[in-house]
Structure 1
C-alpha cells in the first residue's frame, strides 16, 4: 500500500469509536466495511451512518455493513475496536480477512491487546495506540463525538514495523484522522491507562461525572492517588512514563466533558459485561508480580467484582 492509495478497510467492532473513525475514512473515499449488530445495524442499513461532532458539520453516509467479516476479502487495514474481553473470539473470526499486507490497528483500552492479537495471527502487521476521544452512540445509527479531546497515536507492536506504521499514519492523517506516529506505543497506552483506569473505576463505583469528580477535593485527591498507583506499575513494566504523567492526566481530566463518564461505568450501570479486567484487573496483577501496592485501586476492584458476583 502506497500513500494516497484508496484502502479497503474493515472496522471490527463498530461501536461508538469504531463507527466514528471508520466513518471519517469512508467520507474521505476509502472502502470501509463495518461489522455491526443489533439496533445500530438496522438503523445504519435503513438510514446510513450519521456522525455528529462539535468540530465539524454533521453528516450522514451510506456504508457497507455486515454481521461478520467476509473471509473472501483481504483488507488493507483492520480497525480493531471490539471490547477487550472479546479480543480472542473476534480475531479468530477475521483470520480469513488477513493477508501478509494487512495492517491491524487496535485502539482498545488497556496495554495487552496488541500482544494478544499478534499471538493469534500468522499474517499481517499489528499496530497499537491510544485513542483520546469521547464518543457515544447517541441513538442507533447516530454517533456523537463530544468535547475538545480528540487525538490518536499509532505505533508498531514489533519495532521492525516502524516504517509501515509511519506510512499508515500518513495515510490516516491525510484522510482526516487527528493522528501521530509514536516509536513507543506501550508508553502511550500506559499514559492513557494512568488516566482512564482510575476514572473508569471511580465512575463505576460512585455515580459521579468527570465534572463532579474534579469539583470535589476528596474525589480529586482520590483519583490523583489512583493515577500514581497506575504510574508506578507502568514504570516497573518498562513504560518509561513521563515524570509528570499524573499531572498531565489531571489536566486531561479538567479538559474532559463536565458531564462525561466512561464506557465502563455505562456498561456497569446497565448490567452489561465490562472491561474491568483490561482497565483494573490486569494492572493489579502486574502490581502483584512486582510487589507493588495499589490500595485504592485494589479496593475499588474488589468492591466491583464482589458486587458483580452477588448480582449474578
Structure 2
C-alpha cells in the first residue's frame, strides 16, 4: 500500500518545491494539504496553485491550505527554506505525526538531526531535490527547465507509506542509488555549494561566473569534496566540475535569486557544513562566504 492512490500528504511550505509537489501529488489522486502562512494559505484556498512548467505544461490544482496541521497525514514533505525550519515546525504538532514519514527536502545536512530530535516518534526519511523553479507569487509556480530529480538513500528508515513509492505515482524520477544518508546529502551539497557560492559572489548566472572565476570555482569544488570526506561521503571533484561546466550559461542559483531580491540567504545551511567540517581549512569557501555576508 506504500504508494497507493489516496495517501494523506502534508506539504510544509508552499514555495517553488512545495507548490509544485502539491500540484503533482494532487493530480495523482492523493489527499494533499498545504501548510503555509495565513496570507499564502488564503491565496491558495481562493485560487489554487498554478504551475507553469517546461516539463509538465500548465496545470492548476485546488488543494486545501491552512496555517497548521489539524489531522494526521501519512507523509509530510518539509519544503521550507533552512532558515525557516524551526519556526515552520510550529505548524505541525508532533502528536499528529506519530505514524508519519517525514521527508525533508532542505538544502544542507544539519536539518536531519534537528527533525529527529523535534519529532522522535516519526520516521525521518531525508531526500534531496534538484530543480530550477521559482515562486513568483503565493500559489504561482514557474518551473524554468525540464530537469527535476528527487533522490533518497537506499539505506533509510522505513515507514508505512514510503516517500519514494508515493512520488513514483506522479511519474517523477526518483534516484535511490545513494548507499546512505551522508552520501545522499553531500552529493547534493557538493554540487550546490560551489554553484550557489560562485554565482552569488559574482552576482552573475553560472556561465559568466564560471568563465570569469575558474580558480575560485575549482577551490570551492575541491574544498566541498574534502568536507564530504569527513562525513564518510566519497565525492569526485572532477565529476562535480564537469556537471557545473555543463549547466546552461543563464542558470541562476536560488541563493543568487535571493540575494538579488534582498531575501534571507541559506548561507549557513549551504556553507556551514563545509566550514564546520574543515575548521582549519577551506580558505576559498571561507573568503567567499565572508564577502557574501559582508555584502548583505
TM-score normalized by structure 2?
Answer: 0.90
Aligned partner of 2:259 in structure 1 is 268
* 1:42-61 alignment, distance < 5 Å: 42-61=42-61
Shift in alpha-carbon separation, 1:30–1:276, aligned structure 2, 3 A: same
Aligned partner of 2:220 in structure 1 is 226
Aligned partner of 1:172 in structure 2 is 167
Aligned partner of 2:28 in structure 1 is 28
* 1:1-312 alignment, distance < 5 Å: 2-37=2-37, 40-70=40-70, 73-96=71-94, 98-155=96-153, 159=155, 161=157, 163-164=158-159, 167-181=162-176, 182-214=178-210, 216=211, 218-241=212-235, 245-288=236-279, 291=280, 293-308=281-296
In structure 2, distance between residues paired with 1:146 and 1:282: 28
Give the superposition deviation at 1:17: 0.7
In structure 1, distance between residues paired with 2:43 and 2:179: 39
Q: Please, which moves more after superposition, 202-211 or 253-262?
A: 253-262
Give the superposition deviation at 1:43: 3.8
Over aligned residue pairs, what C-alpha RMSD do you find? 2.3
Q: Provide Cα deviations, 1:35-93, integer angstroms capped at 9, x if missing partner.
A: 233765444333221112112221111111112222xx011010001111222232243
Q: Please, which moves more after superposition, 120-129 or 143-152?
A: 143-152
- Decide whether the 8 Å contact of 1:35 with 1:69 is kept in 2: yes
Shift in alpha-carbon separation, 1:295–1:165, aligned structure 2, 3 A: farther
Give the superposition deviation at 1:200: 1.4
SS at match of 2:133: strand
Shift in alpha-carbon separation, 1:92–1:67, aligned structure 2, 3 A: closer
Which runs of 5 or more residues in structure 2 are unaligned?
Answer: none
In structure 2, distance between residues paired with 1:160 and 1:279: 23
In structure 2, distance between residues paired with 1:140 and 1:166: 29
SS at match of 1:10: strand
The count of residues paired between Structure 1 and Structure 2 equals 295
Give the superposition deviation at 1:116: 1.2
Shift in alpha-carbon separation, 1:11–1:3, aligned structure 2, 3 A: closer
